[in-house]
Structure 1
Amino acid sequence: MDILHLKEKVIGLVAYMKEVGYTSQYIWYINHLTKWIVSNSMCYEWQNYADIEHTLAKLWHNKHTFANKSRLLRIIQRYDEEASLPDGHKHYHKPSNYHQLCEEFMKVVDIACKFIGKDTKMVPTIKVAMSSFFLTLQKYGINSLDAIDEEAVQMVFSPNDIPIRSHSFKYSVEYGLKKCVPYYNDGIIEHIMSYLPTIPNSRKNIQYLTEAEIEAIKHVLEHDKTISLQDKAIATIALYTGLRSCDISALTMKDFDWEGDLIIITQSKTGTALTLPLRAVVGNAIYDYLVEERPKCYEPYVFLTVNSPYRKLHTSNLNAICVKIMHKAGIRLKASERKGLHLFRHHVATSLLRAGVQQPVISSTLGHASPKSLNPYLNAEFKSLKECALSIENYPVRKEVFYQ
């Protein structure tokens, strides 16, 4: 990290940001933080950008202020170290431990990512999990596949007999290793997989939206003129189709068959095709946004940021929109209550179930790769579950059981 010449180096970054349309205020923040780093470098004796971020955490205790400072710092860091220019996204994915792996472990991760394929979004998750798994083994002095034994694997998942890894972590590691099996004919990968512990996948019941809450949301979408056309279109799509937020974010102009009244997409999560009917209420909301509010630019995505540089919305932006609409509807105001677009997906599933639609059809509508994926939704459908309850009127039960 060359702090002495950082100010001169950032000139190129600032020129690029002006060219692509970043606001003058945001550019000022970059310049201001750069000057602060240069002027305070001797005082704090920073050795790397991690040291600077640690200082920021001490100086700014407000989590939102610190998050903004860290975001700006990472833009400067990536430009300084990698000559990487910002793409407008606020969300910076921290690098995995991949580059700290020994050559043999790095090769295993490369093979797994190659066989998984670039078209699926599972690759980053698998890469991070496998890199973390192998790096932990390296910290225990294991630097080859042959040296991995059951005790070492258990230390990764439960050091000092205390479980610290989740089901999803174990699943990601196992999935990646399984992709490597055809490449290693000596059975070494199968042996490592056999050492992986069994971790149950525990799920909490989904907090469902009541009929009153749904009506409140529909009323806001129809009558509240303070909601932008973009927010209305996004919420309407989620409410009537049950699409995942990642798929709504990834919608492009080509995904709509306006003459056939269809939405035709390739799902971001599973990579499989999904075709849904384009209802009039959904189509009208999207059309109004496209004609009256969407920025005029060459971006293929339907839903874009309000300010330039224009880019597709992140899933967290969509969930923030959902929270805003729920607030206007006067529902889900408590911090403990679940919010977000996934509640709309659950609503679509339970509505179809109540209408007597068969489960395979519901799974197909939601784009599930496995019928079992529907179970968490059905487990929270209390109206249908009550029909399965047995009466206890023929059994003597003291009143205190129900009144204590």
Structure 2
Amino acid sequence: MYKTTIFAEGVASIQRYLSERENSTRTFEKYLEACKSLEAFYFLENIQHYETDANKRYRIHVDTLVKKGEISERQGRHYRRFSLMMDDFYHDRPFQERYQTGKQYKYRLSEDSSQWVDKFLKSLTLAESTIPSAGTIARSFFYFLEQNNLAVETMMTEKNLVNFLNFKHTENKNSMEFVLYLFRKLLQFLKASGVPINGMELVSYKAAASRRKVLPAIDSCDMELLLKYPDRETAIGKRNYAILLLASCSGMRCMDLANLKQEQINRREKSIVLVQHKTNQPLSLPVNQETLDALDDYLTHARPNSSLPYVFLTIFAPYRKLQSQSIQAMFIQNLRAAGIEKKAYDGKSFHAFRRTIGKWLLESDANTEMISQVLGHRNQNVLQRYLPLASDILRECALDFTYAPVTTEVYK
């Protein structure tokens, strides 16, 4: 093992921390590599002991190496994290689960424009979760002005405002109503700040209704292929099979699957009782015996030995709750590996399980109240998006041309 000299105490403390979090040996080896890199930097700088300023310069040095391609982005993250952990150790601070590397904005603004954005955000009385979105709209607006050499105080014309909305439409086609709402707030703030605006009638504009296309459900053949693909002889295969089978029979949302706890599975009643993440409403779902057997197989033979209450965990240490993004990625990976064609925006996402359940229930003549309860919808009108999937039912409702004969002139 590499013997450190300058940071011996810090490395020992980090090793204990990683061991307590059940990190793998490979992870600790990566931190030792980071230690070598940091000590080499100290040697070149002729520094014999830990210095906070030297650590800051080292992180800038690491960023330069990443940009030049001399080390990978992943290596850079480990090097920066090790340096930040050293800062915490030598300042008697606890190690953090995650280290923030600073805000990385998509739109880089001048100092004057940044000050406008800061003032706008401070003036808002919106929900805390909405503030970042408002900041994005404001930054993109001032970025648009700067890129077109337009001054805030003199170029607030209707033409420029409309051009900005057209620019945003290319990025936010499906959320223009929300964009307009936040843009109104920004224009009202600028007007209240004394900026003359020619085109304030834009605040009354409404976004055009979105043209929703009917996204597909998963047909029986694809469902069979999808459930056959996971290798149920391996730990990851048992876990993935249990997730896919549970989603296919319950229609649970991805986030609810990620948050599912062992105590929420009622084997005696063959049900799962949970509070939905999206609606914060309680929901009880029936689960068949096959799905319960798959869950038991995973929990007994494949789930890591961890005190975490969640059902689905990562396979490798440090063991954590499986995130919804990981479940989505697993679904896409299994979909393609099973030979099912996947194209961008074709609707073949994890949410397709919910559309499939909605379609099956419609075709089995279930009433709308029952379907809403199973899918966890607060508004029964949401079911309208599932109706086009039930083509057999729609076919029964279709009218023929018996009483409205079609003449040849129609086709001329």
1:359 aligns with 2:364: no
Task: State the one-letter code of the partner of 2:315.
Answer: V
Q: How much has 1:33 moved relative to structure 2? A: 5.2
Distance in 1 (alpha carbons) for counterparts of 2:330 and 2:303: 16
- Structure 1 residues 278-357: aligned runs within 5 Å: 278-326=287-335, 330-333=338-341, 339-357=348-366
Q: How much has 1:387 moved relative to structure 2? A: 3.7
Kept in 2, the 8 Å contact 1:22–1:308? The answer is yes
Indicate the SS of the match to 1:263: strand
Q: How much has 1:247 moved relative to structure 2? A: 0.6
Task: State the one-letter code of the partner of 2:25.
Answer: S
Kept in 2, the 8 Å contact 1:264–1:273? The answer is yes
Structure 1 counterpart of 2:126: 112
- TM-score by length of structure 1 reads 0.67
Structure 2 counterpart of 1:241: 250
Structure 2 counterpart of 1:395: 406
Distance in 1 (alpha carbons) for counterparts of 2:277 and 2:371: 19
Structure 2 counterpart of 1:209: 218
Structure 2 counterpart of 1:59: 69
Q: How much has 1:240 moved relative to structure 2? A: 0.3
Structure 2 counterpart of 1:17: 18
Q: How much has 1:346 moved relative to structure 2? A: 1.6
Task: State the one-letter code of the partner of 1:133.
Answer: I
Kept in 2, the 8 Å contact 1:137–1:156? The answer is yes
Kept in 2, the 8 Å contact 1:229–1:289? The answer is yes
Q: How much has 1:175 moved relative to structure 2? A: 7.6
Q: How much has 1:345 moved relative to structure 2? A: 1.7
Kept in 2, the 8 Å contact 1:349–1:366? The answer is yes
Structure (1 or 2) with the larger CA radius of gyration: 2
Superposed CA deviations along residues 137-172 of structure 1, whole A, max 9, x for unmatched, are 56669xx9xxx998886565335xx73442555455
Q: How much has 1:107 moved relative to structure 2? A: 3.4
Are residues 155 and 353 of structure 1, via their aligned partners in 2, closer, same or farther at CA, if it must alter by over 3 Å?
A: same
Structure 1 counterpart of 2:195: none
Are residues 331 and 59 of structure 1, via their aligned partners in 2, closer, same or farther at CA, if it must alter by over 3 Å?
A: same
Are residues 356 and 265 of structure 1, via their aligned partners in 2, closer, same or farther at CA, if it must alter by over 3 Å?
A: same
Identity of aligned residues (%): 20
Distance in 2 (alpha carbons) for counterparts of 1:156 and 1:70: 37
1:128 aligns with 2:115: no
Distance in 2 (alpha carbons) for counterparts of 1:341 and 1:135: 33
Distance in 1 (alpha carbons) for counterparts of 2:223 and 2:63: 43
Distance in 2 (alpha carbons) for counterparts of 1:237 and 1:249: 12
- Structure 1 residues 19-34: aligned runs within 5 Å: 19-32=20-33
Distance in 2 (alpha carbons) for counterparts of 1:156 and 1:54: 35
Distance in 1 (alpha carbons) for counterparts of 2:304 and 2:232: 22
Distance in 2 (alpha carbons) for counterparts of 1:201 and 1:37: 53
Kept in 2, the 8 Å contact 1:247–1:268? The answer is yes
Structure 1 counterpart of 2:172: 166
Distance in 2 (alpha carbons) for counterparts of 1:93 and 1:251: 32
Distance in 2 (alpha carbons) for counterparts of 1:369 and 1:105: 35
Superposed CA deviations along residues 126-147 of structure 1, whole A, max 9, x for unmatched, are 3331221233456669xx9xxx
Kept in 2, the 8 Å contact 1:88–1:311? The answer is no
- Structure 1 residues 57-96: aligned runs within 5 Å: 59=69, 68-69=74-75, 72=78, 75=81, 85=95, 87=97
Are residues 29 and 151 of structure 1, via their aligned partners in 2, closer, same or farther at CA, if it must alter by over 3 Å?
A: farther
Kept in 2, the 8 Å contact 1:261–1:278? The answer is yes
Structure 2 counterpart of 1:255: 264
Q: RMSD of the alignment, in Å?
A: 5.1
Distance in 2 (alpha carbons) for counterparts of 1:293 and 1:13: 29
Indicate the SS of the match to 1:158: helix
Are residues 40 and 20 of structure 1, via their aligned partners in 2, closer, same or farther at CA, if it must alter by over 3 Å?
A: same
Structure 1 counterpart of 2:51: none
Are residues 331 and 343 of structure 1, via their aligned partners in 2, closer, same or farther at CA, if it must alter by over 3 Å?
A: farther
- Structure 1 residues 144-155: aligned runs within 5 Å: none
Distance in 1 (alpha carbons) for counterparts of 2:140 and 2:357: 42
Kept in 2, the 8 Å contact 1:253–1:302? The answer is yes
Task: State the one-letter code of the partner of 1:382.
Answer: S
Are residues 298 and 224 of structure 1, via their aligned partners in 2, closer, same or farther at CA, if it must alter by over 3 Å?
A: closer
Distance in 2 (alpha carbons) for counterparts of 1:254 and 1:322: 25
Distance in 1 (alpha carbons) for counterparts of 2:166 and 2:368: 38
Task: State the one-letter code of the partner of 1:106.
Answer: L
For structure 2, the residue ranges without an aligned partner over 5 or more in a row are 1-5, 45-55, 107-113, 147-151, 186-191, 193-199
Task: State the one-letter code of the partner of 2:169.
Answer: P
